[in-house]
Structures are given as structure tokens and as C-alpha cells.
Amino acid sequence: MPEVHLWSGLRALAGGREVVEVEGRTVGELLDALVAAYPALKEPIEAGVSVAVDGRVIASALNEPVRPDSEIYLMQRLRGG
Amino acid sequence: MKKIHVTTKINGDTVEFLCDPRETLLDVLRDRLGLTGAKEGCGTGDCGACSVTVDGRLTCSCLMLGVEAEGHEIGTVEGIADGEELHPLQKKFIEYAALQCGICTPGILVAAKNLLERNPDPTEEEVRYWLAGNLCRCTGYDKIIRAVLDTAAEMREAS
Amino acid sequence: MALDEYKPQKGGSELETDHQFKYVGTRPDRPDGFDKVTGRARFGADMYAPGMLHAAILRSPHAHARIVRIDTSKAEAMEGVKAVVTRADFSKNVPFAPGMAGEFWNILENVMAGEKVLYDGHAVAAVAATTPLIARDALKAIEVEYEILPHVTDVDEAMKPDAPVIREGAADKSVPEGMHPNVVRYHESGHGDVEAGFAEADLVIEDHFTTEATHQGYIEPHACLATLGSDGKGELWCCTQGHWYVQKVCAALLDLETANLRVTASEIGGGFGGKTTVFIEPVALALSRKANRPVKLVMSRSEVFRATGPTASASMDIKIGMKKDGTITAAKGEFRLQGGAFPGAPMEFTAMCAFACYNLKNVHQVGYDVMTNRPKQAAYRAPGSPMAAFAVESVIDELCNRLGLDPIEVRLKNAAREGTKASYGPTFPRIGLVETLEAAKAHPHYSAPLKPGQGRGISCGFWFNHGGETSVSLALSEDGSAQVMVGTPDIGGSRASMALMAAEVLGIPFEKIRVTIADTGSLGYNEISHGSRVTYASGLATIKAAQDAVRKLRQRAADKWGIDVEAVDWVDGCAVPSGPNAGDFDPLPLAEITKNMGATGGPISGHYEATPEGAGVSFATHIVDAEVDRETGSTRVVRYTVVQDAGKAIHPTYVEGQFQGGAAQGIGWALNEEYIYGPDGRLQNPGFLDYRIPVASDLPMIDTVIVEVPNPGHPYGVRGVGETSICPPLAAIANAVSNAAGVRLRDLPMRPSRILEELEKQQGDA
Amino acid sequence: MNYYKPATFDEAIAIASGAEGITRILAGGTDVLVQMRSDIVTPDTLIDIKAIDGVKDITRAEDGGWTIGVAVCGAEISEHPDLPREWPGVVEAIGLIGSTQVQGRATPVGNLCNASPAADSVPALVAAGAEVTVQGPNGPRRVAVEDIPTGPGRTSLQKGEIITALHLPPRGKGGGDAYQRFIPRTEMDIAVVGCGVNLRVSGQVITEARMALGAVAPTVERVRGAADALVGTKLEDSALDALADLAQAACNPIDDKRGTVKFRTHLAGVYARRVAKIAYERARAAQ
């Protein structure tokens, strides 16, 4: 199962965990699984998160594939100038 | 408020218009005469985007009333090219990428052309100080200054 | 380095590894150059419509006040006034939500004040009249009664327990218990054990830094021309970095169907992030609907300063530990940013970018998003990153000075590389920081002697870059020329890069390609031109759309030759048999295929719609020499060199331009630009006279070095280049000035009086 | 707003005398138009004096000085064949007002009548001992430049009075003047401190000295003790010290967005020294 790293600000919403294991083959499935496991994450995830998959920052594509051994980090959604 | 009748010459053509005395020359050029090449970046003479010449002297058209144009000759960016032939400065600005967004470009071209008419061989410092009243936020001025200096060199060779 | 050293990343787009570029990397004249040097390019304020009205906005003179009463009747009764709008004329269906979740509500509240005015310049009403002068006179006839409330404009003051509350309930759940209601978002990230790391250090420096809010300072004020009927259908012409976003927001704020509002992006006179949101467009539309006439609305320069989106200001604490050999053992940062009277200060990017240049075992960063009575901040070129670099790179410079270490060697020693776990979490793919440092070290500037009174500063900088939703269409003409329709407004010459990439794929000359910025009715959705994404994402989509067209061209050749399409290659603008086995046919040029395309299967176009997610992060290293007049505190930047990784420079001249522009803006931010608020909470310098952006005589030539470490997420290796260039300057200049003056400058801008004060303190200490 | 373009000063004075509300004279317009655009002042009566005979002329006066017409713009003064040589400080000061574009319009008399304490041309004109002709319903009078501004935005001109000419005294032998200002950028800023110095020397010894400071008090401040500090000296360090002290003592500035009291006072001393040195070198070279 992929491990998802949360930024510290999210940890309080996920029972204090820094790393959460959830099932999913795409970014979208991971996010859905996260919200199912920790409903408090719904608000920040809906407000906009990017997902770093193996070092690549996925800003919005929910269909990006994820492998079981992928390195996954949630990040706040990018806004550029 | 009663409008005032004004007769002037713009880019060589006689032009007549009516304007409120509170309107600036820039307002008149843009809103009454359809000459939108001059831009309003500040309205207070601080950015130079509205630069025109009045009787050959460089001026901010936002710092002059439309009624003051009576009897004078105005030059705008629309009058810089000779028919279909671009002025050497215009060509060099494209070649050097001396513009990014292009909003300051008309004012800078009017100002630079006026400089080269007075001083065909300016130093880098002279160009920088002459153009200090023309703000550009995109380029850091590097390519603008190079384009003006190279145009000057080319025009000196050609003449 | 050759392209073929880089293998495709998992899930990324494939690099065209064996590509010998014919057009990409050349420097042709930009396609819109002629329009822009002759004055005929049409910017936001250059559009007129028959029967058009002129609008003006009434703005709050107070920093914080309750609106007790607005009486517009006298204005409405004036001859020539055709409509007056207030908040009542906008949607009631935009919900409030805490934090960033309520972004549409926040925009609505910012566009037209509701119950309270929240900053000096906040819009309270607007008028449309037959002339601009009547509209301005009518504003004076609108009566507004205010109940003045206490205000706060400083970030640290706004966090204190007794600070006035801007808005209860604006904080989202990320904010820890017990914080002031003005703290609306919170970020914390990092890894390792920083305290253990500090214990390993030979020298630990902890220091406090501040930066003031600055403005993007685009020369073109916001302008639009709106037409909207009570049938809910409208047209909008405006200068914006993203017209689909404008369409979406305006539709929401005015209860329209998005598709019924067609938005056309004018030429844009600079944006730098400041035109990524809306300010006047919904107001002009509301006036137009009410007056049933087209309405033109153009901001004055003072309105731009008072009521658009400057940057956040920042108050920062940095602590870094270093060993004698230059190894950084731990780093910690706390970043408090105010972004005006709304959530959104980019403190999470400040935190995430702060230490991103370094390979750190122990790192921790905290960010606070704080509301004050200032205008709602907007993005400005790598939002949040420059201030972080200023604080962090200043401390690293000080560590190098005190340990007697070379600043580039120390940075090389600690530099993030491929495989480094980034300070913000993930593992870096192929990145180019080391290459920029090596190039800076090798540059003659770095070893040039300094004159007395001069100091040298260096700094690195980092920005993420972005992809985003993108649509491109490419249509071939019968004569073999091509139109490319992209949806990202061209702020700095991107039409040229698009045409170069299309030329590369199609194999036809650059001059045969016309790039148009399509309106919202002519193309699928496109995200804003932001995040340095245009050459990356629209470029990628242009390449893919051109490849789609090429596939169709190959099919036509295959049909003509009676062979399989797989047996047809596309070489240099011609269909050719892929090998001897495919058959013996003469190359079929593009124009030969398009000449008869109507009769061979119909028009040929290429399309691409996607959200490319392979944007490559980028790094830069800047070298600055500055000179300080110790009698007056005046500073002059005398030499400047930018070294930055572009991935691949499609049009190198415009890449250099981005480097130079970012550096110049950084010089302004470092030395002279600042928002100055008086004790009354009013902005004191809303004009170019006292908001001092660099003028031509202030700056030296700005040298550039383009480093190319290709981004595996783009077919040609492009990384964004627009934003990273503003990340190092604040720190590089501060380091140069500090080294020239012999005192550490910790607060921006480094205005002369401030430098003088620091010099006096130094003399006092001595 | 009513706009008038009289052909004579008498006509202009008659209009100004009879006008109700706010009256402004329009020459270069670089302050008037900014105030109109920013909604600070919208005049009820605007009198454009550029059609009056002689307002664009620079003429040598009978005493060897100069008379400058009230509509002569900065660029025309800088381009004059003789004036910059005789009064380099005055011409430099006028040349520092605004950009090239502003130089094409702005006039020194407009700079004076705008009555900003930071006006660049005024300290140099005061140091030079310049005067203006003021004409009103009661006829013309000559007034020293330093007596025109009475406070920020206020002048001693009475209703119906108009300045009709600017006069520079004859330069004479051994005279030199200079003006410098401090600004944060290199151009386009309002002076944080401005300093004009005008000296006469005989050999190496200073025989006459005048100094004026801008932006350090509600009006441009003539530092009357400058002569005592400098006359009889060869501008030795002790004389410069005394001058700098005087300059700082003359300061009565405000804290504002452009500079603090402390900063302005400090700069006044720095610029008094710097500018006096330039004026001294020029005076010595002019013998």
C-alpha cells in the first residue's frame, strides 16, 4: 500500500500521524481513501493540494498513476506569479 | 462644461477636435482621435508610457491639456514608421527583444528617437538618464539600452 | 551535456532524446513585434465599443470601518449617469468558508465591500456614465457613512492578543488552538531532529528578518470593456493573465452560466502574478447589465497600488547550524506573512522554498498566514520564495563570513541534487542547482577584483514551477501555413516560443506559423499564465497538437501511397517512406498534402488537452556587486550576473529577458520599493513617484548565463524560467550591501536611511 | 473649470483678479495637471500664459544678468548657449526637476509657485540671489525668490498677482555655484535634501557666500550664516565643518515617507560640504 506523507499542519487532522498508508492506484483514489479514513482531511484537500509522486509535483491530475512503492507527499496547491 | 475647439497637427496631418478643458492631450489622443499608441501608465508624468513630442520636444501627453495643443505639432508612436518601412529603432527593438509585454515600448521609442535626433552618438549613461522617465518593469532595461546604442551606431554609419 | 543522458521519469513525458533542433534554440523576431513597436497592439484600455459608458469606482478612505449607510441617489440623478452599483448588485449565492476554501467569497468581498471596508482603497460603489469626467464627478455625489474601527497593518502587531480582529471565523482547521483570529492558516513541515543537528554545529546563527510588501508594478493598469445583458449573455475584454479564470469567477459572482460569458484577453502590459485574479471585471459587468450598455473601466495608478494585489510582507526567524567545514547540520525557520484582509499569504511556499536549495538532514519550517487591514495580496513572481531566500541566504552568508568559508563552495557542499530529500519532503529528480553554482564559480564576475567601498554577494534561489490545465489547437491552411491557438496570454514573448516549437515538429519555417491567443469561446479551458508554466505547458501542448497534426499528415501520405501509416515518417516538413521496404516515393511536403486536404479527408488540425504534470523545479545563482556611500547610505548595484537553469531555452533571447527582468525587480524590492502605511492605516505612496521601481539610470547591464539541465517532464526539456529569477536577488543584494558596508542588513528595503542607521550602530558598538 | 489663454499679462491679471474660487496659472503644467488628475485641486479658473509675448525668451539684462521668461522650460534653459556656463548650479538644479519629458514642459517659476519645500530649482535660485517680477492690480514689483514661498503649497502672491519674469544677477568674476540633492534612486525622485551654494572668490579666498537648503523646513531655507562661516576662508576643513554645522542647525524638517528628521538633518551637513566644494572649484576656475 502506498505511504502518504502529510505536512505537519495536516497531522492533527489525521490522528497525529505523519505517514498514512492508504490503498489507491491513482492520485485521485489515494485522496479519496485519505478522506474516507480521516474525514477531517476533507476540508484541506478540497481547498487544494498538490501531490508529489516520486518527486514530481502533481498539481491537479487525479488520474496520475501511483505504484505501491511510490514516494507520496501531500503539498499545498501551487499558485504562481 | 463647454467644449473648446482645437486645431493641431498630429504626425503631419491637420486635426481638429472639441474637448473639455480638463481633458489631457493623452485623453484626447486616445478617446477622441483613436490614437491609442500612447498609453496611460500613471497619469502623473512618472512613467513615460504616454510620451509624445510637441514641436519636437519630448513631453508626457498626460501632463499637457488637450487645449494646449492648439497650433502645435504633435508626434506620436503612430508616426514613427515611414509608411510601411519601420524606423531603425523599431527594427532594433524587435531584433534585440527590447520589449517583453510591450506597454512601455511606444513611449520608449518616442523618447529614444527624440534622443537620437538630438544626439546621434550618446553614451550608455546618456541613454540611461534620457530614458529615466520611461519605466519598464519587464526587461531590466538591458536590452533596451543595447538596442538604442546599436541603432545609433547603425544610423551613424548609414548617414 | 547531451540530452540523451537523461532517461524518462516514471509517468512523465518522454524526452525526445535524439532530437537535433532546427528551430528551437534560435532567436527569430517575435511574431507580435511589429504590432508592439508601432502602437497598434491593443492592450486592456485600447478597446472601444459603440455606445460605450465609462465607469469609476468609489473607494474607502479608511483602513477598517463598518459601512453604516450608502446613499447613491444623488449620483443616480446626475445627467449622464446610467448606472450605480453596490454589493447588492452581486450574487448572493457565493458561500463564505474559512481559509482558502472560501476563495470566491473572498474575491467577491474584495471586489466590492460588504458590511465592512477592510483596507484603504476597498471598493464600496461604482458608477457608469457617458464620460469619464461625469463618472468621476458622480463618485463625489455618493454619500457613505462609516463607523471607523481600529485597524492593524503590521504582521507582528496583527498576531498580538489585543490586535483588532479583521474577521471572526476566517481561520481554517490548520491553525493551532489559542492563536489570534487574524492567524488564518498554518503550515509546518520538515524532517530529522533540528535540535540534535544544532548540537553538532560549530557555529549556530539565529536572526530575525523582515521584508515589506511590494507591488508587481506592471506599467499597464487593470482595464476592461464589459458588455452584459439581462439575458445573462456577455462579452468581456480585459488584460489578464488568465481569461478562463476571469470567466469562471465573474460567472460565479454575477450568477451567470460560465459558457455565456465570452472573455477575450487583450495584450497584457505586464502582470508578474498581479493579473492572476479579478478586481474590476465583475464591477464593469454589473454596471453593464444595469445600464444595458457596454462599460469601460480603467484603473488609475493610485487605484492599482491601493486596491490590487501586492505581495505579502514578512517577519521571519531563521536559525542555521554549520560545521567548520561548511556542512549545514540543521536549519529552522519561522515565517509570518500578512496578505491583507483575506487568507492567502503564500507562507507555505515561503516555508517550503526556504531551505529547498540544500541537502539537509535536519530541517523544520513553520508558516503563519496573517490577516491585516491591507489589500488582498496576489501572486508576485515565485510568490513567497524571494523573502525566504533573503532570510536564509543572509544567514548562510554570515556563517560563511564568520567561518572564513567561500560562499559558493559552501553552497556546493550542501547543494540539493538528484536524489536529495527536499526540505519540503519529496525526493528531487534531476535538478540543476550544482550546475548553476559551478557556472557562477567559473564566471569572470566571481573572481573580478572589487573596488574600495564595494561588496560582493551571492545567493541561490528555488521555485517549483507549474503545469496546469492546458488546451491547444493547431490548424493547417491549404498553403501549408499553420495557425496555433493557445490559451495562455503572451506576457513576454511566448508566441515566439510556441511558434518555434510548432515549427520544430511540423518542419516548416517559423514565419509560416501564426500564434493566436484564443478567447474562451474558441478553445478549451486553460489555466492562468502563472507558475512559469506557459513555455512548459502550452509549449508541451503545442508540441503534442503539432504531433497530432503530423500523424494526420502522415495518414494522408500513406493513403496516397497506398501504404500503412506506420511506414510513413515525418522528416523536415515532408512525409517520407520510413525505409526501403515501405516503397519508393518522393518526399511529400506538408504544403503538397494540405493543398488538397479538403478532397482527401477534410481539414487537418491537431489538438491537445491535458494537465501536464511534469513541470521541473528550477534553481538559480546570482552574483552581485554593490557600492555603498557611507555618508548617505546610498547603494548602487554596479555589476550583476544571473545564472539559471532553464532546462532548455526555446528562444534564448527571451529567456535572458526573464532572467534580467527578475533581477531588476529584485533590485527594486531589495533597495527601494515598499508599501508605506501611515498611522491612519492609509497607503502613503500610491504612485510611481514614491513607490520607487528601478529606472534606467539605476541599473547596470545584467549579465546572464543560461544553464540547460533538461527537464525530463517536457519533450524538449523546458523548465519554467519566469519566476526563479526573482528568488535570489534580495539575498544576493543584501549580502553584497552587507559585505560592502560591513554590517548585516536584516530588513528590506535597504533604503539609505536604514543603511545609515546600521552604520551608526556599528560605530556606536565600536 | 474655465480655461483662458490671455495675450497680455494685464489681461491675465484682470482674469485672475476677477475670478471666483481656485485660480491656477498654467505654464508647464507639470504640477497643476498632476493635482487635477489626483483630485487634489481642480481649479475653477485656469489661465494659460504661454500666448503672452516674451514668456519663452531668455534675455541678457542691462546689468549683465539674465531675464528668463515664465514659460521657458527646463530643457530650453539647459540648452542655452551661455546660461549654463555662467550659472551651472542654477541650471543643474532646474535640470533635475523630473524626467526628460518633464524638462520639456516644467518651468522654474512653476517650481517656485508650487511652493514645495523640496523644489529642486529653488535652493539654487535663492543661493544665486535670483529675483522675480510680480505683477498685479497695483503694478509690478521685484521680489527675492526666497520671499515667494511662505509654507508648503503657499506663496506670498496676492489675489490677482502673477510672476511675469525670473531674474538672475550678473555672474561677475570669480563666481561659482552648485546644486546637489539626495534622492534614493538616481532620477525621478523628490529631493530628501537639496543644497545650493553660490560663492565668489578672490584668489583662493572666499569673498561672498550664499547657501540655501531644500526639504529641511516648511520652505526652502536660506542659511544666512553661510557668509560668516565661509567669507575669508579658503574652504579649509574647519570652514566646511562650520558650514555643515550651520546647515544642520538650519534644519527644521518633518518625518515623512521620504525621510526622517534625523536623516534629513544628517544629509544637510553632508551636502553642505559636498556642494560647497564644487562651487568653490567652479568659482576659482572662473577668475
- Comparing CB atoms, the residue among B41, B101, B139 nearest residue C660 is B139
Helix (H, G, I), strand (E, B) or coil at C627: strand
Q: What is the ipTM score, two decimals?
A: 0.96
Report the residue of A4, A6, A7, A20 to disrupt the C interface, i.e. the one with the largest count of C CBs within 10 Å.
A7
A25 vs chain C: nearest CA distance in angstroms? 13
Q: How far apart are CA D84 and CA D96, in angstroms?
A: 13
| Dihedral sign of CA atoms C367, C371, C372, C375 in order | positive
The residue of D33, D99, D182 whose CB has the most chain C CBs within 10 angstroms, and thus the best one to mutate to test that interface, is: D182
| pLDDT tens digits along C212-225 | 999 999 999 999 99
Instruction: With a cut of 90, say whether residue C15 has pLDDT above it.
Output: no
- Model pLDDT, residue C513: 98
pLDDT number for residue C333: 98
> Three-class SS string for chain D?
CEEECCCCHHHHHHHHHHCCCCEEEECCCCCHHHHHHCCCCCCCEEEECCCCCCCCCEEECCCCCEEEECCCCHHHHHCCCCHHHHCHHHHHHHHCCCCHHHHCCCCHHHHHHCCCCCCCHHHHHHHHCCEEEEEECCEEEEEEHHHCEEECCEECCCCCCEEEEEEECCCCCCEEEEEEEECCCCCCCCCCEEEEEEEEEECCEEEEEEEEEECCCCCCEECCCHHHHHCCCCCCHHHHHHHHHHHHHCCCCCCECCECHHHHHHHHHHHHHHHHHHHHHHHHHCC
Residue D285 CA: distances (Å) to CA of C428, D168, D204, D207, D233: 67, 20, 10, 15, 17
Chains touching B (at least 3 CB pairs under 8 A) are C, D
Query: What letter represents residue D47's amino acid?
Result: I
- Which residue, among D101, D103, D186, D187, would best test binding to B if mutated, counting the most B CBs under 10 Å from its CB? D101
Could you give the CA distance from residue C400 to residue C203 in angstroms, rounded to a whole number?
10
Query: Is the Cβ–Cβ distance between C324 and C702 less than 8 Å?
Result: no
Q: Please, are residues C147 and C68 in contact by the beta-carbon 8 Å criterion? A: yes
Contact assessment for residue D78 and residue D56, using Cβ atoms and an 8 Å cutoff: no
Please give the domain boundaries of chain B with CATH numbers for all domains.
4-79 (3.10.20.30), 88-158 (1.10.150.120)
The residue behind cell 506576457 is: C491
Touching check for D259 and chain C: CB below 8 Å?
yes
pLDDT at C4: 35
Query: Which CA distances in Å does D41 have to B42, C299, C699, D21, D219?
Result: 17, 20, 35, 11, 20
Q: Determine, for residues B111 and D101 on separate chains, whether the beta-carbon distance falls below 8 Å.
A: yes
Q: How far apart are the C-alpha atoms of C682 and C468, rounded to whole Å?
A: 37
What does chain D come to in residues? 287
Q: Do D46 and B21 touch (CB under 8 A)?
A: yes
Q: Using CB atoms, which residue from A47, A75, A78 is nearest to C101?
A: A47
Give the angle subtended at the CA of C550 by the CAs of C548 and C556, to the nearest 5°: 115
Out of C697, C751, C752, whose CB is closest to D187? C697
Query: What confidence tens digit (pLDDT) does each residue in C568-622 have?
Result: 999 999 999 998 888 999 999 999 999 999 999 999 999 999 999 889 999 999 9
Nearest C-alpha neighbor of C348 from the set C249, C423, C421, C279: C423
More confident position, C489 or A61 = C489
Write the DSSP string, chain A: --EEEPPHHHHGGGTT-SEEE---SBHHHHHHHHHHH-GGGHHHHHH-EEEEETTEEESS-TT-B--TT-EEEEEEPP---
> How far does the CA of residue C693 sit from the closest CA of chain D (Å)?
9
Quote the pLDDT of residue C13: 39
> Which of C497, C506, C521, C455 is closest to C658 using CA atoms?
C497
> Which ranges of chain B have pLDDT less than 50?
none
Burial class (CB in 10 A: 0-12, 13-18, 19+), C763: exposed
Give the C-alpha separation, D180 to C492, whole Å.
Answer: 38
Sheet holding C116-117, edge to edge: C116-117, C65-71, C143-148
Partner D contacted by B132 (CB < 8 A): yes
Distance, CA of B30 to CA of B38 (rounded, Å)? 7
Phi and psi angles of residue C579, each rounded to the nearest 5 degrees, phi first: -175, 180
To the nearest whole Å, the CA of B63 is away from the closest chain D CA by 6
User: Could B67 and D102 be called an inter-chain contact, meaning their C-beta atoms sit closer than 8 Å?
Assistant: no
b/e string for C167-180 if b means 16 or more Cβ within 10 A? beebbbbbbeeeeb
> Residue D139 CB: number of other CB atoms within 10 A?
8
Q: Where are the domains of chain D?
A: 175-285
Radius of gyration (Cα) for chain A, nearest Å? Answer: 11
For the question of whether the overall pTM of this predicted structure is more than 0.90, the answer is yes
How far is C240 from C528, CA to CA, in rounded Å? 8
Alpha carbon distance, N-terminus to C-terminus of chain A: 36
Phi, psi of D184 (to 5 degrees): -65, -40
b (16+ CB within 10 A) / e for C638-660 = bbbbbbbbbbbbbbbbbbbbbbb
> Are C699 and B42 an interchain contact pair (Cβ–Cβ within 8 Å)?
no
From the CA of C27, how many Å to the nearest CA of chain B?
A: 9
Contacts of C137 in chain B (CB under 8 A): none
Which of C54, C308, C695 is best to mutate for the B interface (most B CBs within 10 A)? C695
CA distance A25 to A35: 16
3-state secondary structure C657-703: HHHHHHHHHHHHHHHCCCCCECCCCCECCCCCCCCCCCCHHHCCCEE
Contact D37 B67 (CB under 8 A): no
The residue-averaged pLDDT of C361-367 equals: 97
Least CB-CB distance to D104: which of B58, B68, B132? B58
Query: What digits encode the pLDDT tens for the residues C655-710?
Result: 999 999 999 999 999 999 999 999 999 999 999 999 999 999 999 999 999 999 99
Q: What is the DSSP string of B34-84?
A: --TTS--S-SSSSS-TTEEEETTEEEEGGGSBGGGGTT-EEE-GGGTSBTT
User: pLDDT tens across C495-519, in order?
Assistant: 999 999 999 999 999 999 999 999 9
Q: Tell me which of C37, C298, C308, C534 to substitute to probe the interface with B (most B C-beta atoms closer than 10 Å).
A: C37
Cell numbers that stand for C574 in this block: 515532408
3-state secondary structure of C489: coil
| Segments making up each domain of chain A, as ranges | 3-76
Strand partners, D2: D45
B43-83 residue pLDDT tens = 999 999 999 999 999 999 999 999 999 999 999 999 999 99
Chain C residues in contact with D37 by the CB 8 A cut-off are 300
pLDDT at B1: 63
CA A21 centroid distance within chain: 10
* Confidence at residue A79, expressed as pLDDT on a 0 to 100 scale: 76
Minimum distance, in Å, between the CA of residue C647 and any CA atom of chain A? 15
pLDDT at C11: 32
Q: Which of D188, D190, D259 sits opposite C695 (nearest CB)?
A: D188
B73-75 vs C261-265, strand pairing mode: unpaired
D26, D41, D99: best to mutate for the B interface, most B CBs within 10 A: D99
Residues of B in contact with D105 (CB under 8 A): 59-60, 63-64
D185 → closest Cβ in C632, C672, C753: C672
- Domain D175-285 indexed as CATH 3.30.390.50: yes
Taking CB atoms and an 8 Å cutoff, what residues of chain D touch B63?
28-30, 33-34, 101-102, 105
> Please, how many CA atoms are within 13 Å of residue D122, restricted to the half-sphere of its CB?
28
Confidence band of C5 (pLDDT split at 50, 70, 90)? very low
Q: Would you call C95 helix, strand, or coil by DSSP?
A: coil
Q: What is d(CA C300, CA A23) in angstroms, rounded to the nearest whole number? A: 54
Please provide the CATH number assigned to the domain covering A3-76. 3.10.20.30
Q: Is D195 on the interface with C (CB under 8 A)?
A: no
Using the beta-carbon criterion (under 8 Å), do D99 and B63 form an inter-chain contact? no
Q: Which of C200, C190, C74 is nearest to C125 (CA)?
A: C74
- How far apart CA A43 and CA A58 sit, in angstroms, is 19
Architecture of the CATH domain C467-610: 2-Layer Sandwich (3.30)
Residue C692: list chain D partners with CB under 8 A.
184-185, 188-189
The pLDDT of residue A45 is: 87
Looking at the complex, report in whole angstroms how far the Cα of residue C238 sits from the nearest Cα belonging to chain B: 14
> How many angstroms separate the first and last alpha carbons of chain C?
52
Q: How confident is the model at residue C475 (pLDDT cuts 50, 70, 90)?
A: very high
- pLDDT (tens, 9 = 90+) of chain A, 81 residues, equals 889 998 877 888 888 888 999 999 999 999 999 999 999 898 888 878 889 998 888 887 888 899 999 999 998 877 777
**Among residues C581, C612, C584, C55, which one has the least CA distance to residue C298?**
C55
CB-nearest partner of C689 from D190, D259, D266: D190
Please list every residue in chain B whose beta carbon sits closer than 8 Å to the beta carbon of residue D26. 65, 68
Q: What angle do CA B135, B137, B140 make, to 5 degrees?
A: 95
Crossing angle between the packed helical segments C729-741 and C385-403, to the nearest 10 degrees: 40
* A18 lies within 8 A of chain C by CB: no
Indicate the Cα dihedral angle D212, D218, D219, D223, nearest 10°. -30
Q: Is the CB of C382 inside 8 Å of chain A's CB atoms?
A: yes
Beta bridge partners of B4: B19
What element of type H or E holds C510?
Answer: none
A65 to chain C, minimum CA–CA distance in Å? 7
Structure confidence at residue C14 (pLDDT):
45
- What whole-number distance in Å separates Cα of residue C90 and Cα of residue C69? 18
- Sheet with strand A49-53: strands edge to edge: A19-21, A3-5, A71-76, A49-53, A56-58
